[in-house]
């Protein structure tokens, strides 16, 4: 019986720090590896930078397309752009034009 009491007394002294260390380890692990941990935060920041770069590229492309569309409006027709679009759509050339054929892969 005295051995059992001694074990219980020592277990009370050891149990608190062991539980504390286990909880600290658990929270430290999830701080780094968890769903909302440090590694997930780094991954999300990388994805945000990539998405922001894609957004800028799409915005620039849209601006260029808006400019081309505005040049095709009836109140403001750019003659060179109109001529280019007519020739490309109808696949026609004028008799005095020089045509240089290129392979399809180079276009």
Please give the full DSSP string across 3-70, using - where no structure is assigned.
HHHHHHHHHHHHHHHHHHHHHHHHHHHHHHHSTTSHHHHHHHHHHHHHHHHHHHHHHHHHHHHHHHHH
pLDDT in tens, 12-70: 888 888 999 999 999 999 999 988 999 999 999 999 999 999 999 999 999 999 988 88
Within a domain: 49: yes
Could you tell me the pTM of the whole model? 0.52
Tell the residue number behind the tokens 């999830």, with chain if given. Answer: 30
Within a domain: 82: yes
Within a domain: 36: yes
Domain count across the chain: 1
Coil, helix or strand for 107?
A: coil
The boundaries of the domain holding residue 81 are: 31-90
């Amino acid at each position: 019986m005295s051995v059992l009491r001694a074990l219980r007394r020592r277990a009370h002294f050891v149990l608190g720090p062991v539980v504390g260390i286990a909880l600290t380890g658990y929270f430290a692990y999830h701080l780094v590896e968890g769903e909302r941990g440090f590694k997930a935060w780094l991954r999300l920041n990388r994805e945000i930078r990539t998405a922001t770069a894609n957004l800028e590229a799409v915005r620039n492309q849209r601006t260029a397309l808006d400019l081309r569309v505005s040049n095709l409006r009836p109140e403001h027709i750019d003659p060179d752009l109109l001529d280019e679009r007519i020739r490309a759509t109808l696949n026609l050339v004028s008799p005095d034009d020089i045509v240089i054929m290129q392979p399809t892969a180079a276009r």
